[in-house]
Amino acid sequence: MIKEFKEFVMRGNVLDMAVGIIMGAAFGPIVGKLVDGILMPPLGLLLGNVDFSNIFLVLKDGATAGPYASLAAAKGAGAIVMAWGEWFNSIITFLITAFAIFMVVKAANAARRKEEAAPAAPPAPPKSEVLLEEIRDLLKKK
């Protein structure tokens, strides 16, 4: 059973999948910071100083009544909120991540097609033909 498990784990597809999952997990926070810190501030500025991470709807006031200055303040007061600005940021993050993965897969497929399209080396001549050529060359030398 251990041998079978080792064969399963050492298959190329399983290793490729594991690397992909690890890289995806590492890539997620990078894209999240790109969206939250670089893309959304200019977009919010263009839309009239909107901070998407602080757009929320109070469904029920908390211990202290609203209005709340920020999403953190609303959550700190125990208010029940619908944080659709964070959801919008997550949608943008997902789209950027999906596009990046699409580009990687597209590049890998192009490389695979290029490799498949490369002409194969001509097959080696049969052994009898090689021997005949050697005999011919020896006869020429005499």
Identify whether 135 is part of a domain: yes
Structural domain of residue 110, as residue ranges? 2-50+83-141
Cα 113 to Cα 136: distance, rounded to the nearest angstrom: 42
Is 92 within the bounds of a domain? Answer: yes
**Would 107 be classed as within a structural domain?**
yes
Residue 68 lies in a domain: no
Residue 26 inside a domain? The answer is: yes
> Which residues of the chain fall short of a pLDDT of 70?
9-12, 117-118
Exposure string of 115-134, with b = 16+ CB inside 10 Å and e = fewer, is eeeeeeeeeeeeeeeeeeee
> pLDDT of 18-47, one tens digit each?
778 888 888 888 888 888 788 888 888 888
pTM above 0.75, yes or no: no
d(CA 142, CA 139): 5
* Whole-number Å distance between alpha carbons of 24 and 20: 6
Q: Is 114 within the bounds of a domain?
A: yes
Tell me what pLDDT residue 84 has: 87
CATH assignment at residue 106: 1.10.1200
Q: What mean pLDDT value characterizes the chain?
A: 82
Helices (H) and strands (E) in the chain, counts: 6, 2
Q: Kindly report the length of the chain.
A: 142
28, HSE (Cβ side, Cα atoms, 13 Å): 9
Q: Is 70 helix (H, G, I), strand (E, B) or coil?
A: coil
